[in-house]
Each structure stands twice: as C-alpha cells, then as structure tokens.
Amino acid sequence: MAVIPVDVAGRPYEVRVEAGLLAELVPHCRGLLRKRDVPIVTDANVHAAWGEVVESALRDHGHEPHWRILAAGEQTKSWENLSRTVDWLLSLGVERGDHVLALGGGVIGDLTGFAAAVLKRGCQFIQLPTTLLAQVDSSVGGKTAINTSAGKNLVGAFHQPALVLADLATLDTLPERELLAGYAEVVKYGLIGDADFFAWCEENGSALLSGNARDREYAVAHSVAHKARIVAEDERETTGTRALLNLGHTFGHALEAETGYSADLLHGEAVALGMVLAARFSARAGLMPRSTAERIASHFDAVGMRSELAPLRLGCDGKALAAHMLHDKKMDAGMLPFVLMKGVGKAYLDKSVALDDVAAFLDEELAR
C-alpha cells in the first residue's frame, strides 16, 4: 500500500492507495468512525457496484450505514442536492467531530465535501474516490463545490478531508471512457513538472488503462504525491503554484461550456484536448518546439483520446470559444491567467495572454 501524507497547515491527512481498501474500510479509518451510525453519500452507479462491499465492511464492525444515494452525473452538484444533503445530515444528528463518507467520483466528493464544509460550520469527511479522476485529483486538496446556472464550480469552499482511501479495485467497474478521462489528469502531472513521469506514461499508459495493477498503483500514488506537494505549498491557490494544476482547464472549460457540459465531452476529455491546445498555443508563441506539442497530442491519440477539435463538430468560431473563457472563475482584474508550457514538465502561469490571440489560434485549430 502507498501512503501519501498531505501536509496542509494544521490539518495534515493521509491518502492511502491500494486495491481492497473499501472491504477493510473500518480498520483503515483507524478510529475516525467514532459512532455506530455512519452517513454515506454516493451515486446510484457506485452504489450498485460497491454498495454491498461498503455496507458489509461497516456492519462487520458494528456500524449502522445510512445511505444517501443520488443520481449519477454532473447535474447532481446542485444547490438543491446540497440543501437536501445538509438537511439529511442534520436529521441524522451529525456533529462537527463526526465523519461523513463520500463514496464516488468527483461529483459526489465535491458535493459531499461542500455539505461537510457548511454543516455546523464544518464537520469531518472521508473521501472514498471511485474514479481515476477522483483518485488522482478531486479527492485530494480540499476543493469542494457545486454548479449554478452561472457556471460550474462557482460556489464552494476549501475544506480538506480527514482521510482519503483510494481503492484501486473500484477502477475495475469504471466504464472505459471514464477511466480514459481520468487518465488525462494523470498525464497532467507529467506535463506540469515531471518530464520523466510523462515519459513513463508514454511507455506504460496503455498497460495501466488495460488494468495492470502495479502500473495503476504507481500512477495513482505518483500523481497524488505530486498533488500533495502542490497543495502543501499553496493550499488556497494564492501563489500561482496550485494554479499550475489548471493546465488545459481554461481551453477545456471553454469546450465543456460550448458542448453544454453534456456527455458529448467529459471533463477529463476536455482537459486532454485542452492540454494539447495549451501545448500548441505555447509552440505557436515560440515557447517550445511544435514537435513537443505534437508528442503530447500523439500520446493522447495512442491511448484512444481525442487530440483534435474537428471531430467535436462545434459549429462555432474561435471568438465564441474564447468568450466562454471570460466567465472563468480564475479571471483576475480583467485578465485570464493561462497555464502555458516551455516544454514537457515545464508549465508556468502566464498572465499576459490576449484573448484575441487565443481566438485566432482556436480558429486555426478548428480549421485543421
């Protein structure tokens, strides 16, 4: 088992990575579940696949599970579900020292984490991430949020979990498309600041995606360790370090907005395309050779992900895509910081990118 400490000031916690953690949930929680009653928030798909395992794991140790099973999908991160989940936790008598379990992908983790952040001004929660994306990214670092009619993740809080148990066995029931989407966030760590890890992905990505257990554990633990270092350095995203995790996200969010945050383009798929676009934009600006950008695109092609805009048939121009970026929550004094690259593993935050230039670049990409 890999155990990765996340050293946030005053509230350090561990991320444990291994296959089979859910079946041994209670011992791995090491005394955090202090009451008989245990609230668990999940979605219908995850409950169908892992509900029994978690139910037995809790009952075998004398706990009484209380389930809140939400619909699967992005629309679950809503005000309505937040308010109902908080009311449900209150009805169970959850106290500030109690731990709520978030069993699922980023949707469940973000919603449950936010509910825990506001319940009695903050109760404890444990992340039990069941998607690759959630294991390597969303369950670690304390960003919690819901969506509103104005956009995604615009209302939320920083609220760190008390523990993260990333059970690699859960990836066995994850649909292949979701696995691939999560893989984009794995590759991101290589592109941000770890050229050796990107090279490792080029060599081992396909095996990892096909189910190689050793590669999965290595990739998840390595990604989490990278994120843990970043979060320990810049928990609230104020110094520019944590902002590097947004590589590909500004372009990606514009694509998600244009496709209506629908199943046409999953978040991780948008991030993969966004990273290719950030790389090509960087090359166009003379920051790195075009061949480096195409090396990145080739890796996504090789594992079966999109690296071109044309197949999305967006029917809009670059200006319309760039306009979505104006609603980005990272806008700062009228400027939008972009994560660009000076090479593989050499991402940096650029606050001087002109949106007109981005629009012209996107027109070129749409015409490719």
> Binder to ligand GLY among 137, 202, 215, 217 (CB under 6 A)?
137
Kindly name the residue from 28, 68, 188, 249 that is annotated as catalytic: 249
Residues 108-133: b if buried by 16+ CB within 10 A, e if exposed: bbbbbbbbbbbbeeebbbbbbbbbbb
CB of 156 to ligand NAD, least distance (A): 8
Query: Number of residues in contact with ligand GLY, rule: CB under 6 A?
Result: 5
Q: Which of ligand NAD, ligand GLY, none is residue 43 near (CB under 5 to 8 Å by kind)?
A: ligand NAD
Quick check: 267 binds ligand GLY (CB under 6 A)? Answer: no
User: Cα angle at 92 between 87 and 94, to 5 degrees?
Assistant: 90
Tell me, yes or no, if 227 is annotated catalytic. Answer: yes
338-341 vs 163-167, strand pairing mode: unpaired
Furthest-apart CA pair in the chain: how many Å?
62
User: Cα angle at 148 between 144 and 151, to 5 degrees?
Assistant: 90
Quick check: 242 binds ligand GLY (CB under 6 A)? Answer: yes
Quick check: 138 binds ligand NAD (CB under 6 A)? Answer: yes
Q: How far apart are CA 336 and CA 326, in angstroms?
A: 8
Q: Is 40 or 245 the residue whose CB approaches ligand GLY more closely?
A: 245
Structure tokens at 102: 């978030």
Interface characters, 60-99, with ligand GLY (x: CB under 6 A): ----------------------------------------
Binding to ligand NAD (CB under 6 A) within 255-274 occurs at 267-268
Quick check: 141 binds ligand GLY (CB under 6 A)? Answer: yes
H-state helical runs in 237-354: 249-258, 267-284, 290-303, 318-325
Kindly name the residue from 242, 280, 306, 324 that is annotated as catalytic: 242
User: In terms of Cα–Cα distance, which of 84, 106, 89 is closest to 38?
Assistant: 89
User: In terms of Cα–Cα distance, which of 178, 192, 181, 179 is closest to 222?
Assistant: 192
Q: Which of ligand NAD, ligand GLY, none is residue 242 near (CB under 5 to 8 Å by kind)?
A: ligand GLY
Binding to ligand NAD (CB under 6 A) within 211-230 occurs at none
Structure tokens at 88: 């449900």
Backbone angles phi, psi at 330, to 5 degrees: -85, 0
Kindly name the residue from 18, 28, 81, 185 that is annotated as catalytic: 185
Beta bridge partners of 332: 335
Count other Cβ atoms within 10 Å, centred on residue 228.
Answer: 22
CB of 235 to ligand GLY, least distance (A): 10
Tell me, yes or no, if 249 is annotated catalytic. Answer: yes
Measured from each CB, the residue nearest to ligand NAD is: 106
User: In terms of Cα–Cα distance, which of 302, 327, 310, 326 is closest to 362?
Assistant: 310
Interface characters, 38-67, with ligand NAD (x: CB under 6 A): -----x-xx--x------------------
Tell me, yes or no, if 143 is annotated catalytic. Answer: yes
Residues 273-291: b if buried by 16+ CB within 10 A, e if exposed: bbbbbbbbbbbeeebbeee
Quick check: 205 binds ligand GLY (CB under 6 A)? Answer: no
Q: Strand, coil or helix: what is 355? A: helix
User: In terms of Cα–Cα distance, which of 198, 241, 195 is closest to 349?
Assistant: 241
Q: Is 137 or 328 the residue whose CB approaches ligand NAD more closely?
A: 137
Kindly name the residue from 63, 152, 188, 253 that is annotated as catalytic: 253
Binding to ligand GLY (CB under 6 A) within 93-132 occurs at none
CB of 36 to ligand NAD, least distance (A): 27
> Binder to ligand NAD among 18, 98, 110, 237 (CB under 6 A)?
110
Binding to ligand NAD (CB under 6 A) within 64-103 occurs at 72-74, 77
CB of 180 to ligand NAD, least distance (A): 11
Kindly name the residue from 152, 159, 226, 267 that is annotated as catalytic: 267
Chain residues binding ligand GLY by CB under 6 A are 137, 141, 143, 242, 245
Residues annotated as part of the active site: 121, 143, 185, 227, 237, 242, 246, 249, 253, 267
